[in-house]
Structure 1
């Protein structure tokens, strides 16, 4: 039986061995260099990602300290409510930072808000009064487009209120809004099945009739909160306030009328107040803002807890 014929491996002549050895060394050097560069790039991107996360987390949370005398600015924008940029939590943090800064000559609240929660506004109002007494620093409110309802509640704590002639000011009142669907349900033949333990537990349910007793109770509560609002405005404005039958009716006025009624003091914007009133033209913004990481965390938390708070959201809000 014939034996298979094998192909002998190629032989390297002695004169080629140094060349092959050098090629092998070059190949190994290139592979090591590639690994080093790959690791450097990974480290670079990891560092960049860490810096990005850190900057997103710290964004808007701290004010760069300044030894130069300046005007401290705090923005009150949008709805005054929990988990907004005009929440009491954020505004209180800004107020404390501004009052504690010895270089801040005065605090200016630049307001552009239709109002919101009387609870949140009341917390901010009380903290402004406390910090003013503690630090003996003036507080000025500068109104841009709107300073209404809860926003005016906060502005009443200021030593002076500055407006534009066309600003909207006032709306000193309280409301609770919602919908009632009982008539529509009757027409459609829909029966509401609501079981409660406690005769008033289903109060303000939009699919149930509103009994006179519950209506009277809700109205009495609104009237009491309204009186609290009125007391705050009277305390803050003092003898400057020229009361009329409409002052606390929920009406609002333009800036020119507000000055005439004593709801505001004079015309002026932020730069005017810093330059002419505070005498410190440099303006530093102390307004803390939710950073991106916090917004994502809140959104994630809100999605998890949506089922738990749905019943509370269906209740009529007070503003």
Structure 2
């Protein structure tokens, strides 16, 4: 009965007011990708799952637009978000268009290939299809300070690449194996999603190199140059409505890196250095792409 009433109301509305304007749900994916909310602007499956669901269940939606501005991060979180978007797109039969802003690199590009089509600005940074791991060695520093390192493990590889011990060739070799496996998975995702649109030398494309939007079009990594408003108006008409999916505003505590449930003033103060370190790390990730 309720469905019949709803259908009748829609028929009456169309009769007197015409067809409603096309509607596009806009999902913003901004920030470094990683679980745990370490960064001020953080993307993870947990943080965006509700917004993704809302985008694809919005009544009368003609398409979902992904607005991406991310230098990458966790390959696992990137893949989880990609899969959730593709699952819902198939289930709801809704097209997905991705738009790269300043940067859609590494995991950010993995998010972009969730789109059936990808667009960017001429100066957008796109690509970086590779895997990176970085860190520091502090062994000489703690020796100079007279600090003795004590580490106890069960399992000979449990402390692999510990920052306070000498680097071992076998540990580096094992890390390389892991990176190559993750890289192969990344390349397969790109090949599966972009298919015959990929052009040029795959070695260059999958080398971890970044490209401008113009170069990315020539390589087939994206479909064209353009901004969301222009592309969506061309596709769905000038009356198209862009409905941005609201995101939860971070509290002051989360901006400082304070953990949920830590209500003591001493505990909060102890967590501030961690928040500052995360902020510096986030800044360095963006700086890799000149941003």
Fold similarity call, TM over 0.5: yes
Q: Could you tell me which of 221, 235, 238 is aligned with 1:263? A: 221
CA distance in structure 1 between the aligned counterparts of 2:92 and 2:256, rounded to whole angstroms? 35
Name the counterpart of 1:75: 28
User: In the superposition, relative to structure 1, how do residues 182 and 74 fare at CA in structure 2: closer, same or farther (>3 Å)?
Assistant: same
Q: Displacement of 1:92 after TM fit? A: 2.1
> Is the 2:21–2:240 contact (alpha carbons within 8 Å) kept by the matching residues of 1?
no
The alpha-carbon distance between structure 1 residues 224 and 300, as it changes in their structure 2 partners (threshold 3 A), is closer
Aligned counterparts of 1:291 and 1:183: Cα–Cα separation in 2: 40
Q: Deviations over 1:107-128 (max 9, x none)?
A: 1001111111111101101111
For 1:169, the equivalent position in structure 2 comes to: 126
Matched, 1:299 2:258: yes
Q: After superposition, what is the alpha-carbon deviation per residue over 1:221-264, rounded to whole angstroms, capped at 9, x for unaligned?
A: 11111111111111111100114221111100101000000011
Aligned residues: 247
Distance 2:252 2:145 in 1: 47
CA pair 302-251 structure 1, distance change in 2 beyond 3 A: farther
C-alpha spacing 1:300/1:186, structure 2 compared with 1 (3 Å): closer
How far has the Cα of 1:273 moved from its partner? Answer: 2.2
What are the ranges of 5 or more consecutive residues in structure 2 without an aligned counterpart? Answer: 1-19, 279-284, 286-291
Partner residue of 2:185?
Answer: 228
Q: How does 1:180-219 map to 2 (within 5 A)?
A: 180-185=137-142, 190-219=147-176
CA–CA distance in 2 between the matches of 1:299 and 1:186?
Answer: 32
2:204 matched residue in structure 1: 246
Aligned to 1:93: 50
Pair 300,103 (structure 1): closer, same or farther in 2 beyond 3 Å: same
When the two structures are superposed, what TM-score results if normalisation uses the length of structure 2? 0.76
CA radius of gyration, larger in: 1
Equivalent residue for 2:231? Answer: 273
In the alignment, the residues of structure 2 paired with residue 296 and residue 117 of structure 1 have an alpha-carbon distance, to the nearest angstrom, of 20
**Mapped pair 1:237 → 2:190:** no
Instruction: Please tell me whether residue 283 in structure 1 is matched to residue 242 in structure 2.
Output: yes
| CA distance in 2: counterparts of 1:243 and 1:76, whole angstroms | 29
Which residue of the partner structure matches residue 41 of structure 1? none
* Distance in structure 2 (CA, Å) of the matches to 1:180 and 1:85: 27
